Structure 1
Amino acid sequence: MKMDETDIKIVEALIDDARMSLKDLAAHVGLSSPGVSERIRRLQERGVIRGFTVDIDPKVLGYSLQAIVRIRPLPGKLHIVQQLIQEIPEFCECDKVTGEDCFVARLAIPSIDQLDGILDRISDKAETSTSIVKSQPIRRRPPPLAVAEKAS
């Protein structure tokens, strides 16, 4: 997906502050507000920008622990396990992966006591391996935008 320098500046600015006003964004990239609005619309249509979101700190909401859970469904249980993961709200992220495990998921939990209760809900349908997250040196971030421009 080809993005010019202005598109990259717009996306980078929105990554920093998705609530930036069109006026401020236009001044930042050197375009008019209608011009920026049109570019954002095209970036959305092309799927570069999929949406605007809120970044919530789980700790502030009482989820003091996070865990990474590798999940290997038992034979014939893949779809059941996937559905369970989707239904358990403490699973805040999940990737379906290749290799020995089928899923790698992130849990947000208020305490270690809740971890066993959540994992018990899938333990008769999958094997799990759990690691407690100590820190997150790199939070979720987009890939480099300049590379995306060159790759197109």
Structure 2
Amino acid sequence: MLDDIDRKLLGILSANARISLKELAAEAGLSSPSTAERLRKLDERGVITGYTVDVDPRMLGYTLQAIVRVRPLPGQLHIIERMIQEMPHCVECDKVTGDDCFVARILVRNMEELDGLLDGIAERAQTSTSLVKSTSVKRRLPALLP
């Protein structure tokens, strides 16, 4: 379980993963060694799985973002899963229950690029695509409940 200090550290890190240990300790009201020890324990327990950078895809030329729901044809599930995993434009994919098997987030530079990607799996799966107009809630931590 997390205590209040762990939750505070995670909240601070989620807002700025590049914060220095000294600044993190000061914001959390701890010493640097105590903060480092808590972070080490959170890492060991698997609570913290990594530190990352947040990049704006538009600055890399990816002007379109699509949510693609994928329903593999009979016998094609594992092939489609591998195809999605190997697709560099796919930045996130969940295996889900319901009518579809996968929900993928794909970044592309233009509609022609999206069509080409979808054409590549069309013989093995049905797809339903929605273009993302804006993101109302960016990926974030779940509520850090006691």
Q: Which runs of 4+ in 1 moved over 3 A?
A: none
CA-CA distance at 1:60 after TM superposition: 0.4
1:23 equivalent in structure 2:
22
In 2: Cα distance, 1:83 partner to 1:103 partner? 12
Per the normalisation by structure 2, the TM-score is 0.98
What SS does the corresponding residue of 1:59 show, helix, strand or coil?
Answer: helix
Match of 1:87 in 2: 86
Letter in 2 for 1:50: T
Between the aligned residues of both structures, percent identity stands at: 58
TM-score (norm 1): 0.94
**1:45 offset after TM fit, Å?**
1.1
Deviation for aligned residue 1:46:
1.1
Deviation by residue 1:87-143 (Cα, 9 ceiling, x = unmatched): 110011100000010000010000111111000111101000001111111111110
Question: CA–CA distance in 2 between the matches of 1:53 and 1:73?
Answer: 32
2:101 is aligned to: 102
- 2:69 matched to 1:64? no
CA offsets per residue over residues 14-47 of structure 1, 9 Å max, x none?
0011111111111111111110000001111111
Q: Which runs of 5+ in 1 are unaligned?
A: none
Which runs of no fewer than 5 residues in structure 2 stay unpaired?
none
SS of the residue aligned with 1:26? helix
Structure 2: distance between partners of 1:68 and 1:30: 42
Q: Give distance in 2, aligned partners of 1:53 and 1:27.
A: 22
Q: Indicate the SS of the match to 1:49.
A: coil
Residue-pair matches, total: 146
Structure 1 vs Structure 2 CA RMSD = 0.7
